[in-house]
Amino acid sequence: MSTSKMVTLKSSYGEDFVVEESVALHSQTIKHMIEDGCADNGIPLPNVTSKILAKVIEYCRKHDDHVDEKEKEELKNWDAEFVKVDQPVLFDLILDANFLNIKNLLDLTCQTVTDVI
């Protein structure tokens, strides 16, 4: 049984989210903090609420595995369901995907807004 390295992300509310490092590395912002040795006592994310951080982690976990062609279609459907949220939540996801520098999530959420317009 292998164990993944874990990192702690701290939301703006001070809530701790312990996640696999591979999941956290979807964020270029977090990746740079880990590389710079700033992750030992948790990574503070003062701009990210607990509610949105939980959604971001859900997205990153779903996208953490390498997928084959069949799974790509399932993932596309999952993404479509993931962004079916209230407008304020969608805008918060855009802001936080930008802050965390998660390109695929930012692209998905921005495209969702574009499709609505």
pLDDT in tens, 63-90: 987 667 778 888 999 999 999 999 999 9
57, pLDDT greater than 60: yes
Q: What is the pLDDT of residue 1?
A: 41
Which CATH number belongs to the domain containing residue 62 in this structure? 3.30.710.10
Q: What is the pLDDT of residue 68?
A: 73
Biggest alpha carbon–alpha carbon distance for the chain: 48
In a domain? residue 94? yes
In a domain? residue 96? yes
List the structure tokens of 6: 């874990």
- Do residues 91 and 43 make contact, with C-beta atoms less than 8 angstroms apart? no
In a domain? residue 43? yes
* pTM, entire model: 0.90
In a domain? residue 110? yes
What is the arithmetic mean of pLDDT over 9-36? 94
Mean pLDDT of the chain: 91
Coil/strand/helix, residue 17: strand
Name the helix (H) or strand (E) containing 16. strand 16-20
Q: What is the pLDDT of residue 3?
A: 63
- Do residues 10 and 24 make contact, with C-beta atoms less than 8 angstroms apart? no
**Where in the sequence is the domain holding 77, given as residue range(s)?**
6-116
* Residues of the chain above pLDDT 70, percent: 96
In a domain? residue 1? no
pLDDT band at 117 (very low <50, low <70, confident <90, very high): confident
Please tell me the total count of domains within the chain. 1
